[in-house]
Amino acid sequence: MLHGPPLCLALPALCSSSSIPFLPVPPFQVIPDWKEQEWDTEKPESYAGIFHFRFWRFGEWVDVVIDDRLPTVDNQLVYCHSNDSNEFWSAMVEKAYAKVYGCYEGLDGGNTADALVDFTGGVSEPVDLLEGQMATDEVARNQLFERVLKVHNRDGLISCSIRATTIEDMEARLDCGLVKGHAYAVTDVRKVRLGHGLLAFFKSEKLQMIRMRNPWGEKEWSGPWSDSSEEWNKVSKSEREKLGVTVQDDGEFWMTFDDFCQYFTDIILCRLINTSYLSIHKTWEEEKVEDEVLICLQQKEKRATPKEGKGENLAIGFDIHRVELNRKYRMHSAQQKVAGSIYINSRCVFLRKDLKEGRYVIIPTTFDPRQQGDFLLRVFTDVPSDCKELTLDDPPQTCWTGMCGYPQLVTQVHVMNAEGLQGQDATGALDPYVIITCEGERVRSPVHKDTRCPNFDIKGLFYRKKPKEGIHIEIYNKNMIVDTFLGQVILFSDPNERQEQHTLHLRDKGSRQENDLPGTLTVRLITATALTNI
């Protein structure tokens, strides 16, 4: 298992210019106080020969201090370097990052997705283009393009590569100019308008395109839409200028997204997470879950912790269960599993899933039993959410327990569906919802649009001090001013029956409750005397 409860997400200058262009996140995150660290010709005595950097490690930005000695051969930098001989920020960042992993060798064979997280604090989603059949499945390819475009427009980092299957394949250049085993940086994603003049504007024909850069700064794609190809004649001059099309071997080039999916095998989408309450544009809400949800489970990496040696990562993953709308305590029996990640011995396991409105429990585990490790679970949604740890197994006993009593039973109420509800207008249309009430606690479902046979599929969990009191389930129609009562059922659950399913006719309220109303409701009840049985 994993520790923690389940979750209910001598250098003359550092830079030769006044900008740090390597990340689309605030540079002070990775290079704090970088202006103060820059070489000052007017105050040479202030130079101390040390530099500070920061990397996002397991939930926090960690400070790393290095000196100014860099590895060289024949007075040339061995590893990362700039074309400008007086610019050293890239080599210094690389040295600081190598220190995180113990040495430069520790960076060999590293994972690009993990590195993007370390430099941004974002969430990386690896996408296997071969497994997703993106080259042949047009629908899946179009959906992927919209995701890639969304990440790019929100200032995310995107990397792509062509998988090398053998050692001989590494750095092998294909006939089209692409190189295997390279981590290409995606620098732009656009829908490019084809044609010239007003005709192009009204025709509105657009091509899905993506721009990349070879880390070597040379050797480009030579196929359609390469720098000097005739396809660019289909695009107006103003559109070409807007795209920044240049005819030079600078390593940067455009491709159609169709061609991209034909040649590339992997793409990594690193979303930058902005959860600041003071921000004008929040990209994601951190932490009831709705719409698209990003879940990232991360374990503490052993190869970056010298005291723990170079042990292998644990095989980790997680399951997502849809539970009762009012669940406050830990889950003790299997619920409705709606999704789950793969289990892999990677530092991070990622899942992107569309979930309908409701409450969910995420359970992170190791693949093999009885293994332990520290983990970080991050959840992000497009809309406000209410994430919290489930730390208690059942309701706690307090100083008020003796006076107010303690629950004797626990009952799970699963309202499944209704049939034949009475229409409220000439068309018979309804927008029904259901309310479950037990000992003063209420659970309300979302509104189901335009149906007389709603599939409610909602659950409520009730810890009951008065077992003889009935459980009320009422159905209403949502209206502009006053909602309309459609009927109710009252249930009594016997703990001797582990699971009961009822299909009942709806009744009226008050003294008329014996009168049947149109429609039936199907409900399943589970009751237990042990509060940790559900």
User: Region 484-504: what's the mean pLDDT?
Assistant: 85
Domain containing 316 — which CATH number?
A: 2.60.120.380
pLDDT at 470 over 50: yes
Q: Is residue 81 domain-shared with residue 136, that is, in the same domain?
A: no
Q: Could you give phi then psi for residue 99, rounded to 5 degrees?
A: -65, -35
* Residue 450: burial class (beta carbons within 10 Å; 0-12, 13-18, 19+): exposed
Cβ atoms 207, 192 nearer than 8 A: yes
Q: Is residue 487 part of a domain?
A: yes
Q: Is residue 435 domain-shared with residue 363, that is, in the same domain?
A: no
pLDDT at 6 over 50: no
pLDDT at 500: 78
Range of the structural domain that residue 494 is part of:
404-528
Show Cβ contacts of residue 453 under 8 Å, excluding neighbours closer than 6 positions. Answer: 417, 418, 419, 420, 421
What distance in Å separates the CA atoms of residue 385 and residue 381, rounded to the nearest whole number? Answer: 7
Q: Is residue 299 domain-shared with residue 256, that is, in the same domain?
A: no
Which residues on adjacent β-strands are paired with residue 159? 185, 268
Q: H-helix or E-strand containing 61?
A: strand 60-67
Tell me which of 214, 261, 348, 438 is the catalytic residue: 214
pLDDT at 80: 85
What six digits make up the tokens of 296?
Answer: 């990232």
Q: Is residue 91 part of a domain?
A: yes
Q: Is residue 181 domain-shared with residue 316, that is, in the same domain?
A: no
Q: Is residue 459 domain-shared with residue 504, that is, in the same domain?
A: yes
Q: Is residue 373 part of a domain?
A: yes
Domain count, the chain: 4
Q: Is residue 131 domain-shared with residue 217, that is, in the same domain?
A: yes
pLDDT at 265 over 90: yes
Q: Is residue 36 domain-shared with residue 139, that is, in the same domain?
A: no
Q: Is residue 15 part of a domain?
A: no
**Mean pLDDT highest for which of 175-189, 418-432, 502-516?**
175-189
Tell me which of 182, 321, 414, 448 is the catalytic residue: 182
Using alpha carbons only, give the angle 26, 30, 34 rounded to the nearest 5 degrees: 80
Q: Is residue 101 domain-shared with residue 129, that is, in the same domain?
A: no
pLDDT at 62 over 50: yes
Kindly report, residue by residue over 352-390, the tens digit of the pLDDT.
Answer: 999 888 899 999 999 999 998 889 999 888 777 778 888
Q: Is residue 114 domain-shared with residue 127, that is, in the same domain?
A: no
Domain containing 438 — which CATH number?
A: 2.60.40.150
Q: Is residue 392 part of a domain?
A: no
- Domain end residue (candidates: 227, 247, 270): 270
Cβ count near 248 (within 10 Å): 10
pLDDT at 11 over 60: no
Whether 496 is catalytic is no
Residue with the larger pLDDT of the pair 23 and 292: 292
Whether 3 is catalytic is no
Q: H-helix or E-strand containing 115?
A: helix 112-120
Whether 8 is catalytic is yes
- Domain end residue (candidates: 120, 138, 171): 120
- Domain end residue (candidates: 242, 270, 298): 270
User: Region 92-110: what's the mean pLDDT?
Assistant: 88
Q: Is residue 175 part of a domain?
A: yes
At residue 318 the predicted structure's pLDDT band, cuts being 50, 70 and 90, is very high
What distance in Å separates the CA atoms of residue 350 and residue 363, rounded to the nearest whole number? Answer: 14
pLDDT at 418: 96
Q: Percentage of the chain surpassing pLDDT 90?
A: 51
Q: Is residue 327 domain-shared with residue 223, that is, in the same domain?
A: no
Radius of gyration of the chain, Cα coordinates, nearest whole angstrom: 30
pTM of the entire predicted model = 0.77
Q: Is residue 254 part of a domain?
A: yes
Q: Is residue 171 domain-shared with residue 182, that is, in the same domain?
A: yes
Residue with the larger pLDDT of the pair 38 and 347: 347
At residue 256 the predicted structure's pLDDT band, cuts being 50, 70 and 90, is very high
Q: Is residue 469 domain-shared with residue 358, that is, in the same domain?
A: no
At residue 206 the predicted structure's pLDDT band, cuts being 50, 70 and 90, is confident
